[in-house]
A and B are shown apart, each in its own frame.
Chain A
Amino acid sequence: MIIFKDVCKTYYMGDEVVHALDHANIHIKQGEFVSIIGPSGSGKSTLMNIMGCLDVATSGEYYLDNLPIERYSEKQLAKIRNQKIGFIFQSFNLISTMTAEENVELPLIYQGVGMAERKRRVKEALEMVDLYSRRGHTPNQMSGGQQQRVAIARAMASKPSLYLADEPTGNLDSATGKQIMSIFKELNKQGNTIVLITHDDSVACQAQRSIRIKDGKVSDIEFDKDQQDKNGKDNDPDKSDDGSDSADPKPSEEVRMRGGAYA
């Protein structure tokens, strides 16, 4: 599903070279709920940008659904983002002049979905987050939690293969944050792949697995989660082609290092 092979991202800040990502190896399977955790400045935003096809790596390979992302043009990347990735941002990133309904509809317009189908899917998505009654409201007429739910609905409407959430609870109070997290868990239960980027351990540990990133180096942590008994379905084994992944999708150790940093 998601494979990072020796991905590096280097920035030049004046004369200084910043290794935002340093030989990152990551493997995320279909249907997984993975959190990426790290302090600010650790390279998680870079990781998220590359994973979300908003940016391309300096070196290394990134496969999303077996597609070699670094080989695509900006035009093709736009299409991949449109069809395969559902973004949920910390600051919601809804278009302020548009209503909830129009915001959710937008990626479908870009997909070229017909009017009737669009309306149906917008309704479905807004009903999922329980905001269909507020479809005519613009973002500034809604609370933060509601805006984030609209953003999730926008991601859902395009039926992506990957939900990529960047600090989705960062701007919300803890009660609302919990509400948002439960939506993610619900989405995951339906078989969706979710990658959640956060600096908050209490949020990160709600995922099945956590990838820690520090100074551009990635290490893999796996939680033993008996509370995640719901994830009985097997993960897709077909994608284990980078060798760093073990065949066993449910390792027994509480925390296990895997892949990651080669210093």
Chain B
Amino acid sequence: MIYQSIKMAIKSILSNKMRSFLTMLGVIIGVFSLVVLVSLVSGASGKITGAINELGTDQIDVYVNDTDAKGISYNELITDIKGLSSIENVAPQSYSVGICMSRNESERSIVFGTTPTLPLVTNVKLEAGRFIMNPDMDNHSNVVVVSHELAVDVIGRADVVGESLRINGREYTIIGVTEKQSNPMMALLMGTNYRAYVPFTTMARAFPNGSMEVTSFIASPVDGDFATAEADLKDYMLKRFNNDEEAFEVYNESTISDQMGTITGALSLLFGGIAGISLLVGGIGIMNIMLVSVTERTREIGIRKAIGAQPRVIMLQFLIEAIVLSLMGCLIGIGFSWVTMQLINIIGKVNFGLSAGVIIVAVAFSTGVGVIFGLYPARKAARMRPIDALRYN
């Protein structure tokens, strides 16, 4: 019976193509805007979240603000803080800016002063050479690990291990090159893709703002237990700075990506809501045309009832027609969205897909719209008295 109803519904929709299309237009536009907007948001947020993950979310960042009080020394970091039971490893990370020069090019780059433990606590991957090692620390060696982009833009190629680079006029030997940044959002977040890593001790000596005091460091927790590690670090720092909460900041980057998720979630909901309203308007269009259709086909309803159609069969027929109308609009809308996303990908040189979740939502919502707005006309049809319907002209 349902199969027959679907067949009849499709037949009746196709028998009046223009009207059916115009009726579906509301749903098509609604689904189209829903799918495209949400896919764009989730695509963009996917990129941003990806970038944050590349920065490393499985780490805790600590910044020391208070310069008046006695800062944390390097020794304190690697003995006391690393000694906390919930902390697996630590690495200091001093920031500076350096002018990196080769024979013919020069670029400004972020320079980090750090220790061999950095790759253990954050996401640094080498494509060539080695990272800073303990002897480099002990000898205050003039060695540097550069990012792929920095190497390419300053020296002109990536295989530069063993060559020398001038940073702020001092000559360094390149010992390693980090992997090329695959996520374009990264540069956006950091401001640049140029990065150079020098030994912590070297920076303390050679850079104008360098010192053996640790102004920021990265820690990794034991067994991925961020909550405990973060709490222990805060406890330690509070004690260390006499309960001055302003003196330091502790960040877990997974909280940043959580916040990011909340923002994009809200954005999706907002856009989804707007698109939902247009779907609702589309639903009213369907109801309108279904009412017209019921009136137009009063005689047909009468005939069907006379030859024995039960009220619920008539109801089902019109309800299914409304649902099919709505779902056809939904599918066309999804088709349009797909084409649009392909165009956006080509024009914007990105790779955003249709989000599967939003397609499910669109289909469910369209079905709902079909049911809700088809119900009243279908009931009207089902409740007609057969003799009145047969007499109708």
Contact = CB atoms under 8 A, between A and B. Distances in A.
A93 B11 contact: no
A78 B309 contact: yes
Interface stretch (A23-31, A106-114, A219-227): A106-114
A82 interface: yes
B169 interface: no
Contacts of B255: none
Nearest to B312: A75
Interface residues of A, number: 26
A237 to B, nearest CB: 30
Nearest to B383: A74
Contact of B387 (A54, A75, A95, A110): A54
Contacts of B313: 110
A109 B4 contact: yes
A74 B312 CA distance: 11
Name the residue in A74, A83, A94, A96 with the highest tally of chain B Cβ atoms < 10 Å from its Cβ: A74
Contact of B311 (A49, A54, A75, A107): A75
A103 to B, nearest CB: 9
A81 B1 contact: no
Interface in B296-323: 299-300, 302-313
A100 to B, nearest CB: 14
Q: What is the size category of the interface that chain B forms with chain A?
A: 20 to 34
B77 interface: no
Interface in A174-232: none
B274 to A, nearest CB: 39
Contacts, number: 63
A158 interface: yes
A74 B385 CA distance: 9
A109 B1 contact: yes
A87 B390 CA distance: 12
A96 B297 CA distance: 10
B300 A54 contact: no
A154 interface: yes
A93 B306 contact: yes
Contacts of A55: 385-387
A79 interface: yes
In this complex, which of B299, B308, B311 has the most chain A Cβ atoms within 10 angstroms of its Cβ?
A: B308
Interface centre among B300, B303, B311 (most CB of A within 10 A): B303
Given A107-B308, A110-B309, A97 B12 contact: yes
A209 to B, nearest CB: 25
B303 A110 contact: no
Given A106-B304, A109-B1, A109-B4, A93 B309 contact: no
A82 B15 contact: no
Given A54-B390, A55-B387, A75-B310, 5 more contacts: A75-B312, A82-B309, A94-B303, A95-B303, A107-B308
9 contacts: A49-B387, A54-B305, A78-B305, A78-B311, A94-B303, A97-B12, A107-B307, A109-B1, A110-B313
